[in-house]
Chain A
Amino acid sequence: MNFLNPFFLIGAGVLAVPILIHLVRRERSEIIPFSSLMFLLKIPKRMIRQQMLKNLLLMALRLLLIALLVSVFARPYLVQSATPDGPKSGQGRGVVMLLDNSYSMRYGQNFDKMKSEALSRINALGSGDRMAIVSFNDSAQVVVQPTPDKGKLRAAVDGLEPSFAGTRYFEAFSVADRLLSQFGGQEQNLILISDFQRTGWNRSSRESVIGHDVKAEMVSVGVADSSNIGIDNVSVDATSFVRTYSGRVVARIHNYRRDKEVSVPVALLINDKEEARKNVLVPASGTALAEFSGFDLPLGFVKGKIRIAADDPLPQDNEFLFSIERREKLNVMILDAGRSRQSFLLRTAYTAAPDLPFNVRVGNASAVTVEELGSQEIVIFNDVPRLSDAVRDRAVQARKAGQGQFVILGNTADLRWWETVDGFPAKPLRRVDVSKERGKSIAYLTSYDRNHGIFKRFQGSSRLGLNTAQFFQYIELEPKPGAFALAKFDNGHPALVESPANDRGMLVFASALDNTWNDLPLKPSFVPFMFESARYLAGYNAAKGWYTLGEGIPIIGALEGGTARVVDPSGNQDSVGEGELKSGEQRYYSPSAPGFYELRVGRDRRLLAVNPPSNEGNLEMMIPEDLLAGVQSTEAEARQTGTFVTDDKLEYARQQMGWWYLLLIALIAGIVELYIANTRTQSVRRVG
């Protein structure tokens, strides 16, 4: 038995205290002259002995209680020697070979060298030796379970292919440790063949997973000075509402060479057609940016690529994929109560310029049909009293499928009804007339979340300040749990509330926007505010420009729902999850290779671009011994913490469960002690 916190055992010294007190008091006991001991001597000895025994038992229980508590804090555990009898001669060796097939192994001849080294290790196996093969990238797979069959092992190595995934050494070592434990008393060997890419080692993983008595061989097939040049990152605005792309596509080119700068031609391809080309000079061990803009886009999704013409040993990272969707103008429907000019200012905000990406329709909420409502990207409910049940249900369904909804509360809105709408993010409390309620006539919208998508463009612009607008009346809102108050009045009441992160798609504004309750529509900030709100509402479900391999891609059910299918770069179809993807339901898809994927949900089509992890292009090596030192326990560590035959977590936990049993015994001892002490106290009280 050993202890996790042996310093707590010092507390066992407390055990001596009651014994010492007892002895000291006995030595120093006072002499009391008494008339005669005649009556004291008449007391039956049996009763005194009983009392003394009872007290000795009590003292023993208390000492036991202290000892148990000290032991509990010291956390005892059972230790088994990793190899109780040492490696048994004549049994042969147990070997686990870890083979790196991460993306970076595609560099030059690294993968072939790795295979060659692996085969030579297989050939070197003696009779009685058993070997297991594990291939790893960002995860680890056992390719061959422990076997002495060299043919099977060779075939497994021949069949290995380099992947596009990243590198994580820790996963590989964890699997290796499990396999090594199967070798029992055999001599345990570990072989790692890799390029020892530094980015594959997470320095925070400090847990030792390999026993100190495992003989490890680190075989490096990497190159000390790589001459790789690759594309690190491409930033792209994935949605365009206009033919000529108004955003910027910015590619970052990374030169991993340490010795010289490189001039690289960078090309932008749209649907495999080169649209632009630039030359960038990338410094040694540095990066350079290439920016593209103003190219034309056809309607729908386009396949974008950034390609560099570099002659380096890792050509796969010379191309970076992305997708852009050129969309028609957003369909915005403004529904109001039918009052004259009620939505005039709102409509004006969305049609102020001819190139604004909005098709705006204004209608009476009582007359809108379910079909009309479902075909909109954005619906603005401008101070609408209430909706029919059918329209309301369709609105809820549409919002879950991606429709953005903006609810403006004013004089005619039925606050109690709106509160009951599914997904409505706030509870309207009362109508506030500022001049009557607060003793001053005007409220200002003074605080808003400057990091939120709607308000980002308001930063640094004094002209676009929302705080110049004067509010005379508003509805006091109480955000529901999980909802966010994005903007607030100067008295702290929320002005703009967004639905919770898990049920997004609705914004609620607490004051009418028809120039009656406030003068916000007359302020310069009004148009950008409504524009950004609409962009935010329409784009929250937009796909990213590209994804990294290994990342889960969220897929949300369209308005009608339907079967979710993915067409991979090879043209193979794969369904995402089982059954039909319901409207608003979310699933995740993990692609296995880089390339363009077509995602189909019902009638909805999306194009996804997937790239391999860009950090794999950085082939800087780490010293193999450093890596081994990071995962293999030392002999001293093994002595201190105990080395277990297996690293099975459950077994490990079971061996440390001893303190629970001790605590239980301490509890029982405490109860017995309380009982005995209590009976004794009662007898003393009766005498008193």
Chain B
Amino acid sequence: MELLARTVVEGFVTGLHQSPYLGFSVDFAEYRQYQPGDEIRRIDWNVYGRSDKLFVKLFEGETNTRVTIILDMSGSMGYGSGEVKKADYAKMLASCLTYFSYHQRDAVGLMIFDEAVRHNVPASRRTGQLHTLLHHIEHAAPTKGTEFKKPLHFLAETLSRRGIVIFISDFYDEPANILAGLKILKAKGNDIMTFHIMDDFELTFPFEDMAQFEDLETTDKLHVIPEYLRNQYLNVIGNHIDALRKGMSAVQIDYTLMNTAKPLDAGLFSYLAARAHTL
């Protein structure tokens, strides 16, 4: 998982023209050969004196932000129309964000929940924190039902300092319940980012033949003739997404709908934008 996160994040960061976060720290990072356009004040004249070559001194950024990633591992996250299930996608996103945040010197924490809190690792910058978090993410698997109120209340009680809360879920609950929990966190001064993970089939409902649909959380079954219900289903889910988007927008919570059929870039961009805003 670490390898995966590193590959994604570094590849993503390298692709950016200029990192806005580099150089705000006092910790030396590395030397790089001078290139026209670099600030002259950054040239290390000592090295020049020793080697007659111009090198620029680079520093790593440092922050005291606390990032807490909340990962929904309820049964519904186990759905996937293709090879990648929603849970896998969410785990990848969580890993990437964890890796990225950790290497930005943020204190990173993790909470995995379904009906209750399954794992809670408070945010920290200590050595080994990254491996702990990635280990928990890697071994997380979708289980039964979903309950938003409990974990969010728990988090609100346990978070001692404000920071960034990243919420990754398919939000299979009433928007009011979800927003109620998030509002408590927001009221404590946290910046909240939500990633709404949805499978492509959940968004388009392309089924054709009559079938029994089995609920992954409750194992209830329902005879469905998709031809009859498609229109109504799409209306209902559209209303749900709109309610979430509007409700969160009203309390300055970032909302990003992510389709598992599409790459992770959108999620990472959203994060970076929010990070910049925080700083």
Instruction: Count contacts on B: residues with CB < 8 A to the other chain.
Output: 37
Give a binary string over B219-239; 1 marks a CB under 8 Å from any A CB, 0 the rest.
011111101111111101100
Return B177 CB to nearest CB of chain A, in Å: 12
Do residues A40 and B214 form an inter-chain contact, with CB atoms below 8 A? no
Q: Is B47 in contact with chain A by the CB < 8 A criterion? A: no
Do residues A35 and B237 form an inter-chain contact, with CB atoms below 8 A? no
Give a binary string over A35-56; 1 marks a CB under 8 Å from any B CB, 0 the rest.
1111111111001100110010
Once A40-B229, A47-B232 are accepted as A-B contacts, the answer to whether A32 and B76 lie under 8 Å apart by CB is no
How long is the Cα–Cα vector from A23 to B79 in the complex, in angstroms? 29
How long is the Cα–Cα vector from A683 to B234 in the complex, in angstroms? 14
- For window 629-688 of chain A, which residues contact chain B by CB distance below 8 Å? 683-684, 686-687
Do residues A41 and B222 form an inter-chain contact, with CB atoms below 8 A? yes
- For window 116-164 of chain B, which residues contact chain A by CB distance below 8 Å? none
Return B228 CB to nearest CB of chain A, in Å: 4
Select one of B202, B218, B223, B231 contacting A29, CB under 8 A. Answer: B223
Q: Is A31 in contact with chain B by the CB < 8 A criterion? A: yes
Q: Is B115 in contact with chain A by the CB < 8 A criterion? A: no
Q: Is B264 in contact with chain A by the CB < 8 A criterion? A: no
Interface residue stretch chosen among B1-9, B38-46, B178-186, B203-211: B203-211
Return B157 CB to nearest CB of chain A, in Å: 28
Q: Is B199 in contact with chain A by the CB < 8 A criterion? A: yes
Return A29 CB to nearest CB of chain B, in Å: 5
Do residues A43 and B214 form an inter-chain contact, with CB atoms below 8 A? no
Q: Is A25 in contact with chain B by the CB < 8 A criterion? A: yes
Q: Is B91 in contact with chain A by the CB < 8 A criterion? A: no
How long is the Cα–Cα vector from A34 to B78 in the complex, in angstroms? 9
How long is the Cα–Cα vector from A41 to B230 in the complex, in angstroms? 13
How long is the Cα–Cα vector from A33 to B7 in the complex, in angstroms? 33
How long is the Cα–Cα vector from A684 to B208 in the complex, in angstroms? 11
Select one of B78, B212, B218 contacting A32, CB under 8 A. Answer: B212
Determine the residue in chain B with the shortest Cβ distance to A48: B228
Q: Is A26 in contact with chain B by the CB < 8 A criterion? A: yes
Return B270 CB to nearest CB of chain A, in Å: 23
Do residues A31 and B211 form an inter-chain contact, with CB atoms below 8 A? yes
Q: Is B54 in contact with chain A by the CB < 8 A criterion? A: no
Select one of B172, B211, B212 contacting A35, CB under 8 A. Answer: B172
How long is the Cα–Cα vector from A29 to B225 in the complex, in angstroms? 10
Q: Is B216 in contact with chain A by the CB < 8 A criterion? A: yes
Q: Is A389 in contact with chain B by the CB < 8 A criterion? A: no
Q: Is A626 in contact with chain B by the CB < 8 A criterion? A: no
- For window 231-271 of chain B, which residues contact chain A by CB distance below 8 Å? 231-234, 236-237, 240
Do residues A30 and B233 form an inter-chain contact, with CB atoms below 8 A? no
Q: Which residues of A contact B48 (CB under 8 A)?
A: none
Do residues A25 and B227 form an inter-chain contact, with CB atoms below 8 A? no
Q: Which residues of B contact A25 (CB under 8 A)?
A: 210
Q: Which residues of A contact B76 (CB under 8 A)?
A: 35-36
Do residues A36 and B211 form an inter-chain contact, with CB atoms below 8 A? no
How long is the Cα–Cα vector from A232 to B227 in the complex, in angstroms? 85
Q: Which residues of B contact A55 (CB under 8 A)?
A: 228
Do residues A30 and B170 form an inter-chain contact, with CB atoms below 8 A? no
Q: Is B217 in contact with chain A by the CB < 8 A criterion? A: yes
Do residues A40 and B170 form an inter-chain contact, with CB atoms below 8 A? no
Do residues B210 and A37 form an inter-chain contact, with CB atoms below 8 A? no
Once A29-B212, A30-B212 are accepted as A-B contacts, the answer to whether A36 and B231 lie under 8 Å apart by CB is no
Determine the residue in chain B with the shortest Cβ distance to A34: B213
Once A35-B79, A35-B86, A35-B172 are accepted as A-B contacts, the answer to whether A43 and B212 lie under 8 Å apart by CB is no
Select one of A38, A43, A683, A686 contacting B229, CB under 8 A. Answer: A43
Determine the residue in chain A with the shortest Cβ distance to B170: A35
Select one of B172, B214, B234 contacting A687, CB under 8 A. Answer: B234
Q: For the side of the interface on A, what is the size category? A: 20 to 34
Do residues A33 and B234 form an inter-chain contact, with CB atoms below 8 A? no
Q: Is B215 in contact with chain A by the CB < 8 A criterion? A: yes
Do residues B230 and A40 form an inter-chain contact, with CB atoms below 8 A? no
How long is the Cα–Cα vector from A325 to B152 in the complex, in angstroms? 131
Return A49 CB to nearest CB of chain B, in Å: 10
Determine the residue in chain A with the shortest Cβ distance to B221: A31
Do residues B215 and A48 form an inter-chain contact, with CB atoms below 8 A? no
Do residues B232 and A44 form an inter-chain contact, with CB atoms below 8 A? yes
Select one of B223, B225, B231 contacting A683, CB under 8 A. Answer: B231
Do residues A35 and B202 form an inter-chain contact, with CB atoms below 8 A? yes
Determine the residue in chain B with the shortest Cβ distance to A684: B227
Q: Which residues of B contact A38 (CB under 8 A)?
A: 172, 215
Select one of A26, A33, A40 contacting B210, CB under 8 A. Answer: A26
Do residues A29 and B210 form an inter-chain contact, with CB atoms below 8 A? yes
Return A680 CB to nearest CB of chain B, in Å: 9
Determine the residue in chain B with the shortest Cβ distance to A41: B222
Q: Which residues of B contact A683 (CB under 8 A)?
A: 231
Return A38 CB to nearest CB of chain B, in Å: 6
Determine the residue in chain A with the shortest Cβ distance to B224: A40
Do residues A33 and B216 form an inter-chain contact, with CB atoms below 8 A? yes
How long is the Cα–Cα vector from A35 to B199 in the complex, in angstroms? 9
Once A30-B212, A34-B213, A687-B231 are accepted as A-B contacts, the answer to whether A39 and B236 lie under 8 Å apart by CB is yes
Q: Which residues of A contact B225 (CB under 8 A)?
A: 51
Q: Which residues of A contact B222 (CB under 8 A)?
A: 37, 40-41
Determine the residue in chain B with the shortest Cβ distance to A680: B227
Return A18 CB to nearest CB of chain B, in Å: 14
Do residues B199 and A32 form an inter-chain contact, with CB atoms below 8 A? no
Give a binary string over B184-207; 1 marks a CB under 8 Å from any A CB, 0 the rest.
000000000000000100100001
Return A595 CB to nearest CB of chain B, in Å: 89
Do residues A37 and B211 form an inter-chain contact, with CB atoms below 8 A? no
Do residues A32 and B213 form an inter-chain contact, with CB atoms below 8 A? yes
Determine the residue in chain A with the shortest Cβ distance to B206: A688
Do residues A36 and B223 form an inter-chain contact, with CB atoms below 8 A? no
Return A508 CB to nearest CB of chain B, in Å: 76
Determine the residue in chain A with the shortest Cβ distance to B222: A37
Q: Which residues of B contact A32 (CB under 8 A)?
A: 207, 211-214
How long is the Cα–Cα vector from A671 to B160 in the complex, in angstroms? 72
Do residues A30 and B211 form an inter-chain contact, with CB atoms below 8 A? yes
Q: Which residues of A contact B77 (CB under 8 A)?
A: 35
Return A324 CB to nearest CB of chain B, in Å: 92
- Interface centre among B215, B216, B222, by most chain A C-beta atoms within 10 angstroms, is B215
Return B57 CB to nearest CB of chain A, in Å: 51
Give a binary string over B69-91; 1 marks a CB under 8 Å from any A CB, 0 the rest.
00000001111000000100000
Do residues B207 and A37 form an inter-chain contact, with CB atoms below 8 A? no
Do residues A52 and B228 form an inter-chain contact, with CB atoms below 8 A? yes
Do residues B216 and A31 form an inter-chain contact, with CB atoms below 8 A? no
Select one of A36, A44, A51 contacting B228, CB under 8 A. Answer: A51
Do residues A34 and B236 form an inter-chain contact, with CB atoms below 8 A? no
Return B187 CB to nearest CB of chain A, in Å: 28
Return A27 CB to nearest CB of chain B, in Å: 11
Once A33-B79, A34-B79, A48-B228 are accepted as A-B contacts, the answer to whether A40 and B234 lie under 8 Å apart by CB is no
- Interface centre among A33, A35, A40, A43, by most chain B C-beta atoms within 10 angstroms, is A35
Do residues A40 and B216 form an inter-chain contact, with CB atoms below 8 A? no
- For window 112-169 of chain A, which residues contact chain B by CB distance below 8 Å? none
New A-B contacts (17) at CB < 8 Å, excluding given A31-B221, A34-B215: A26-B223, A29-B209, A32-B213, A32-B214, A33-B214, A34-B214, A34-B216, A37-B218, A39-B233, A39-B237, A40-B213, A40-B229, A43-B229, A44-B232, A48-B228, A48-B232, A687-B234
Task: Name 15 A/B residue pairs within 8 A (Cβ), A-sorted.
Answer: A29-B211, A31-B213, A32-B213, A32-B214, A33-B214, A34-B214, A35-B76, A35-B86, A36-B215, A36-B217, A39-B240, A41-B222, A42-B236, A687-B231, A687-B234
Closest 6 A-B residue pairs measured CB to CB? Answer: A35-B79, A35-B76, A43-B232, A51-B228, A37-B215, A34-B213
